[in-house]
Amino acid sequence: MKAIKALTNVTIIDGTGKEPVPNGVVVINEQGEIHSWGEMDEIDIPSDAEIRDYQGKTLMPGIVDTHVHFCFEPCADPFSVLTKESDARTGLKAASYALKTLLSGVTTVRDMGGKNYVDLDLRDSIHEGKHLGPRMFASGKILTMTGGHGWAIGEEIDGESEARKGARKQLKKGADLLKIMATGGVMTEGVEPGSPQLTKEEIKAAVEEAHKGGKKTATHAQGIRGIKNAIEAGIDSVEHGIFLDNDIIETMVEQEVYLVPTLSAPYWISEKGREAGIPEHAVKKSDAIIEDHVSNFKKAYEAGVNIALGTDAGTPFNEHGKNSFELELMVKHGMDPLEAIKTATYMGAELLGISDKVGQIAPGLYADLLIIDGDPVADIEDIEKIHSIYKMGREIKPEELTIAESV
């Protein structure tokens, strides 16, 4: 049985955007849940608790990254590598990326497109305790039109009936959600990021199947028409959202549709460029959209759109285990640090439908916690200075970091 722990003398960021609580304590029960928390002079610490003094450090909820690709090697051309290697090799690498991600402070992820259901197997293996990694939600194969963005690893569908069947197939396989490709994208050669692909009717058919089963939906959507198609079809979250107009933003606010910006993805493609070996077509498209991406992220944030952190980790040079860089970009482009942390904790949990389990410091929730050397509210880059990580009350040990760095 796990021991009761009391993490003391910390500044607590609760994940909901409220001001930090100084001189705080978090008590973790035997089930790995938060028993109580608050200022130390207000909380009764059980006499049998194991005291862990974190004087001068900051405590916050574990990060929730709502858009990763554990099957992708974050090299110059991930798609080329992924389609040429065996599923077994993909799975081995994915497990190592999951461990690196956990050790960066990310305790929950939503995997948004793998290969031949490797993502579902990894999710189950982590849940069963056979591999160490973040709590995973996985989408199975992406739903895309024939020849559409991501076709090489997706379920190609054309027409409403195929959209329904493709959706049902992913649900049958055990997908936690559906990812639907409403537009073209940067990494697939021959398609344009702004062009619509699956129609509103096709998207709606897939969304209906997911919602009937109590599952959520997300859309890769970069252009205005495709984003509108997806929203009108009832989508739950828009991934990337590069081109947004005022009507879209207003509708997203009214219907509480989430935006997952993934600012890191085009940043690294344009930053590294052709010199690093990234395909010419991807660099050209990224360079063409990156200013609009940043501008529309700012507009959405200022208008009050629900935003959840997602990194798109696994895209070129967008490394697994460097997920917190997305927070730095959010703050760089105008978001308040506490609000940025909220996107990476409470808002991510809300999007996944698990805010009663993770995403904030509150009694009864899992003790997914980060201890940070420094103050990420004063300097968001401090969020990289992780001292300790807890997942469901279990501290992740340094020797596990050594294993991750060796693979």
**Residue 375 neighbours by CB under 8 Å, 6+ apart:** 11, 58, 382
pLDDT value, residue 189: 66
Distance CA 28, CA 18 (A): 21
How far, in Å, CA of 105 to CA of 324, rounded?
8
Q: Please state whether the predicted TM-score (pTM) of the whole model is above 0.85.
A: yes
Expressed in angstroms, the distance from the first to the final Cα of the chain is 32
Question: Which stretch of 146-155, 248-257, 264-273 has the lowest confidence by average pLDDT?
Answer: 146-155
Mean pLDDT calculated for residue range 143-153 = 93
Residue 195 has pLDDT above 90, yes or no: no
In DSSP terms, 63 is beta-bridged to 106
Half-sphere exposure of 181 (CA within 13 A, CB side): 32
Q: Which two tokens stand for residue 70?
A: 């554990």
Alpha-carbon distance of 333 to 268, in angstroms, equals: 16
DSSP string covering 142-181, please?
Answer: PEE-TT-TTGGGSEE--SHHHHHHHHHHHHHHT-SEEEEE
- The answer, yes or no, to whether residue 345 has pLDDT greater than 70, is yes
pLDDT for residue 60 is more than 60? yes
Amino acid type, 292: D
- Poorest-confidence range of 58-62, 149-153, 204-208, 297-301? 149-153
List the domain boundaries for the chain. 5-61+360-396, 63-323
CATH superfamily of 63-323: Metal-dependent hydrolases (3.20.20.140)
DSSP characters over 67-110: EE-TTS--SS-HHHHHHHS-HHHHHHHHHHHHHHHHTTTEEEEE
pLDDT at 185: 75
Mean pLDDT of the region 292-310 = 97
Torsion angles phi and psi, residue 272, rounded to 5: -85, -45
In which band, very low, low, confident or very high, does the pLDDT at 407 lie, cut at 50, 70 and 90? very low
Q: What mean pLDDT is reported for the chain?
A: 94
Per the CB < 8 A criterion, the answer to whether 312 and 69 are in contact is yes
Rounded distance, CA 256 to CA 379, Å? 30
Common-topology check for domains 5-61+360-396 and 63-323: no
Residue ranges with strand state E in 278-328: none
Instruction: Give 126's DSSP letter.
Output: H
Q: What is the pLDDT of residue 279?
A: 92
Lowest model confidence (mean pLDDT) among 69-73, 99-103, 286-290, 342-346 = 286-290
pLDDT at residue 329 is higher than 90? yes
| β strands within 252-359, DSSP E | 258-260
User: Regarding the domain with residue range 5-61+360-396, which homologous superfamily does it belong to in the CATH classification?
Assistant: Urease, subunit C, domain 1 (2.30.40.10)
Q: What is the mean pLDDT of residues 200-212?
A: 98
What was the pLDDT predicted at 107? 98
Q: How confident is the model at residue 255 (pLDDT cuts 50, 70, 90)?
A: very high
Please say if the pLDDT value at position 1 is more than 50. Answer: no
- Asked whether the beta carbons of 224 and 193 are under 8 A apart, the reply is no
List Cα–Cα distances, 317 to 124, 181, 225, in angstroms: 27, 23, 29
Looking at per-residue pLDDT, the higher value among 342 and 285 belongs to 342
Q: Is residue 98 within 8 Å of residue 72, measured between CB atoms? A: no
| pLDDT tens figures, 179-188 | 999 998 776 6
Tokens of 119: 């993502």
